[in-house]
Amino acid sequence: MIRFLQTPGPLKKIILSALLLIICGGMVITLIPGGLGSDLLGQPSQGVLAKVAGQDITTQEVRDHARALAEQQVAQYGPMGKQLLPMIMPRAIAQSVEQMITGKSIVAEAERMGLKATSADVRDELQNGRFSATLFPGGKFIGEQAYESLLAQNNLTVATFEQDVKNEILERKLATLITGSASVSDSDVRKEFEKRNTKVKFEYAFLSQDDIRKALHPTDEELKAFYTRNQARYKDSIPEKRKIEYAFLDKSKVLAQTQVTPEELQAYYNQHREEFRVQEEVKVSHILVKTPPAGPDGKVDEKGVEEARKKAEDVLKQLKGGAKFEDLAKKYSDDPGSAKQGGELGWIGRGRTVPEFEKAAFSQAKGQTSDLVKSSYGFHIIRTEDKHEAHLKTLDEVKDQIEPLIRQQKTTRALDAAGNALLDQARTQGLEKAAAAKGVNPVTTDFVGRTDVLPGVGSSPQLMDAVFSEREKSPPDMAQLGQGVVVFQLLGIKPPATPTFEEIRSKLENDFKNERAGILLNQKTQELSDRAKSEHDLKKAAKELGATVKTSDFVLPEGQVPDVGSMAGQASVAFTMKPGEISGPITAGTNGVVLTVLEKQEPTEQDFAAKKDQIRDGLLHNKQQDLFGMFLANLRQQMEKSGKIKINEQEMKNLTKGQGGGEEGF
């Protein structure tokens, strides 16, 4: 596949977010997939969680998928998010299993129906689809080495990544086929337009929970009764705390003292020599005149091919006549990515272009321009700008790259050795004596909770997980942290406790007021609505109950109104009411609201003309989602019934067993 251009660019994030999840689409049909009769697929073997149409989904694949999915979700919560991993992991596992089974089911059904995703489809997707901004920033390819390296960071090869892209293309083709019959009527469009664009103006009265709360002054008797009634709520609400003594070995200090010798550099270079081998590369530019693609019947329009040849010959003639290659590329090339760069493709290696292109590009001398070269894309005029012969980088060239790696490795080994030595000595002589012998000042804490910050260490979920998993009277233990090693000993445990009335009186008062104010707000809002309806006068009822009255501007269904909030919530009832009608009680955050519609403003025909296509597209998309969703449900049901989907229940049990511990087993 031709890889265009070379500019560094971030890929990791888009790959994690885009390829981590197998897109299960969103569209669907009443068509029930046929031809799914029974087959003779064996039961999944050990290590295989499921079989889908003869394709294995291994337990390890699910683990990797679930871990990546969970880490993606955890990252949304910032530095403390990792503590949520035990809660997120079970859901991530379930999601991963469903997504992977659904993904393979879709691909199997697409292939059964004769759909194909070609290499040309993949090329077009990478260059012009949702990956283009990252893989081809400014229309220029980031380069083979960067492409392969960044894929490798996510445990992906070029082959596996591009197969995933191919599967996604197959899904889109299947969805297009299945949802092709979806349509939206003019009356549906008109109805949705009026629903979205009708405006209302209303008068509303509201009561504030905060105002009600301020007027509450509970007695001790009321609070004690509240405390007694809610004892289960406050039971063990004082969390467990633990007291420890610890010694911290700082990784940064060890790193600063670690030196790398010339002999170590040479040894690493010798052991990793192949990593520093540079493959043969050429820097090329080209002008492409595309030929027509084959039709559905596989035939090619020969007349169109001949027209393309004549155009390419004319461009070549101009080039030989003295015209600038860059100017001709910008004017005539059908490769949009390189044309605006004057035809520049950048550096390419062997095996990454179509054979005809590669042969010409690599066989030419530096500065040479080819005659017409025919490939599956069309006719190329190729100029070889520069060449790199295959060679091995010298130690001097890669020294700055190697030295930090060796320092990190030596630091890790030294830190592990120092930590284990300190631990062994602490278990025989006591932590205080062992730390003093190593020149480290031990720290003894007060009773601390899981989220407390420790001197010298800071906030460390890894250490606290280790501390809170220890049993009382355990010998000293060690925790590996990103910033170093901690050897610690548990000195005492304060178990969770239920606070006395006096200890949480202020909290009880706050909770009591919140609960009571919420109840009173609902009661008073209901009374406000009842009075306004019986008296046919919202203002009068509001005055009697001390509610504030305001008038809104004209507002749309997605609008906001002060003290009412979003009109998409309970206040949306206003769009169903007639002028003069009074609503029931509406909960709007911490306010209780009653409203009466004053005016309705219907949208104009000009508005309809401007928005109808957008509304039609939105309704059609939703209908397609519903259709494809139904299709997937039918597909799954039929494949399970015919035995094309088989779940290994024992592997599923093994996978989920112990997963509540976060990353344990992963």
**What pLDDT, in 10s, does the model give residues 442-486?**
999 999 999 999 999 988 888 999 999 999 889 999 999 988 999
| Average pLDDT rounded to a whole number, residues 259-275 | 92
Q: For 49-101, how does the pLDDT look when each residue is reduced to its tens digit (9 = 90+)?
A: 889 988 889 888 888 888 888 888 877 776 666 667 777 888 888 899 999 99
Q: Which one, of 135, 111, 114, lies nearest residue 123 by Cα?
A: 135
User: Residue 29: what pLDDT?
Assistant: 27
User: Residue 98: what pLDDT?
Assistant: 92
Looking at residue 308, its amino acid is A
CB 479 within 8 A of CB 466: yes
Mean pLDDT over all residues of the chain?
Answer: 87
Domain boundaries, given as residue ranges, for the chain: 14-31+42-174+625-659, 199-236+503-601, 241-264+396-494, 285-291+301-391
**Residue 539, both tokens:** 């203002």
Query: Is 50 exceeded by the pLDDT of residue 8?
Result: no
Residues 6+ apart with CB under 8 A from 171: 23, 25, 103, 106, 107, 110
DSSP 8-state code for residue 432 = H
The sign of the torsion formed by the CA atoms of 329, 334, 335, 339 equals: positive
| Average pLDDT rounded to a whole number, residues 105-110 | 92
Residue 609's H or E segment, with its range, is helix 605-641
Q: Which one, of 32, 15, 97, 62, lies nearest residue 645 by Cα?
A: 97
Lowest mean pLDDT among 251-260, 288-297, 318-327: 288-297
User: Residue 91: what pLDDT?
Assistant: 87
Q: Which one, of 137, 121, 125, lies nearest residue 340 by Cα?
A: 137
% pLDDT > 90, the chain: 65
3-state secondary structure of 77: helix
Q: How far apart are CA 343 and CA 327, in angstroms?
A: 9
DSSP 8-state code for residue 33 = P
Q: How far apart are CA 256 and CA 259, in angstroms?
A: 8
Q: How far apart are CA 508 and CA 84, in angstroms?
A: 28
Q: How far apart are CA 206 and CA 583, in angstroms?
A: 12
CB 666 within 8 A of CB 63: yes
Per-residue burial over 246-268, b = 16 or more CB atoms within 10 Å of its CB, e = otherwise: bbbbbbeebbeebebeeebbeeb
Query: Is 90 exceeded by the pLDDT of residue 523?
Result: yes
The count of C-alpha atoms lying within 13 angstroms of the C-alpha of 536, restricted to the half-sphere facing its C-beta, is 2
Computed on alpha carbons and rounded to an integer, the radius of gyration of the chain in Å comes to 35
User: Residue 67: what pLDDT?
Assistant: 85
Sheet holding 48-52, edge to edge: 55-58, 48-52, 645-647
User: Residue 44: what pLDDT?
Assistant: 67
Q: Confidence class of residue 31 from pLDDT cuts 50, 70 and 90?
A: very low
Per-residue burial over 128-159, b = 16 or more CB atoms within 10 Å of its CB, e = otherwise: ebebeebbbeebbbbbbebbeebbeebebeee
pTM summary value: 0.56
| Average pLDDT rounded to a whole number, residues 34-42 | 35
The CATH architecture that domain 285-291+301-391 belongs to is Roll (3.10)
Class of domain 14-31+42-174+625-659: mainly alpha
